[in-house]
């Protein structure tokens, strides 16, 4: 196969004893009770993790946040809250349904106020995933079609033959090729 990525340092934040689910869910908004602590996790990445990696290794500015399922939801949240922290956001099978699709109005508000600046977003869902996953994917796509600013390059893909587990494996090469070789 053809190499589509640049040399990279991959950083994975280990799971805490209680798991990572709470860190990936957006904080509760009015009328939503199933909120999480994504704001705290994003702040940790910005203030502790990224500076630690930059100090320990010879890094360049090119940063990509990759998430699957609840991690994909977190990638959308990170884009909505801090669009300039990463150069690209890959959201594979994002669990948009969490919290009654609370991420959609958050994303909509963010896209309307985001200053221009080159950022890339790739969102995918497996063609074999359930209705709530596909419906959430469609809501993200429609939000991007209606509100994406000029500085946001974005792509949405339905991955033929993929289910929830195989979608990130099949989607990553597509996302990488669209990011590095548009």
Q: What are the pLDDT digits (tens) for 38-82?
A: 888 999 999 999 999 989 988 877 899 999 999 999 999 999 999
* Average model confidence (pLDDT) across the chain: 87
The lowest-confidence range among 8-12, 14-18, 141-145, 152-156 is 14-18
pLDDT band for 1, please (50, 70, 90 cuts). Answer: very low
Mean pLDDT of 155-175: 96
Distance CA 45, CA 74 (A): 12
Contact between residue 111 and residue 145 where contact means Cβ atoms under 8 Å apart: no
| Residue from 71, 49, 63 nearest 6 by CA | 63
- H-assigned helices in 59-165: 70-81, 98-101, 103-113, 131-147
What is the spatial distance between Cα 136 and Cα 95, in angstroms, rounded to a whole number? 7
């Amino acid at each position: 196969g053809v190499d589509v990525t640049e040399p990279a340092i991959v950083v994975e934040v280990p799971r805490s004893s209680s798991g990572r689910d709470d860190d990936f869910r957006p904080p509760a908004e009015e009328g939503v009770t199933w909120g999480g602590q994504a704001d705290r996790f994003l702040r940790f990445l910005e203030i502790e993790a990224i500076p630690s990696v930059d100090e320990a290794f010879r890094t360049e500015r090119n940063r990509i946040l990759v998430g699957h399922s609840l991690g994909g939801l977190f990638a959308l949240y990170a884009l909505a809250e801090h669009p300039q922290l990463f150069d690209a956001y890959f959201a594979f099978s994002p669990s948009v349904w969490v919290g009654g699709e609370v991420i959609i109005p958050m994303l909509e508000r963010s896209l309307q106020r985001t200053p221009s600046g080159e950022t890339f977003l790739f969102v995918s869902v497996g063609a074999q995933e359930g209705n709530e996953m596909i419906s959430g994917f469609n809501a993200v796509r429609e939000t991007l079609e209606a509100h994406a600013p000029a500085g946001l390059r974005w792509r949405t893909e339905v991955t033929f033959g993929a289910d929830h587990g195989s979608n990130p494996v099949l989607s990553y090469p597509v996302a990488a090729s669209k990011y590095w070789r548009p």
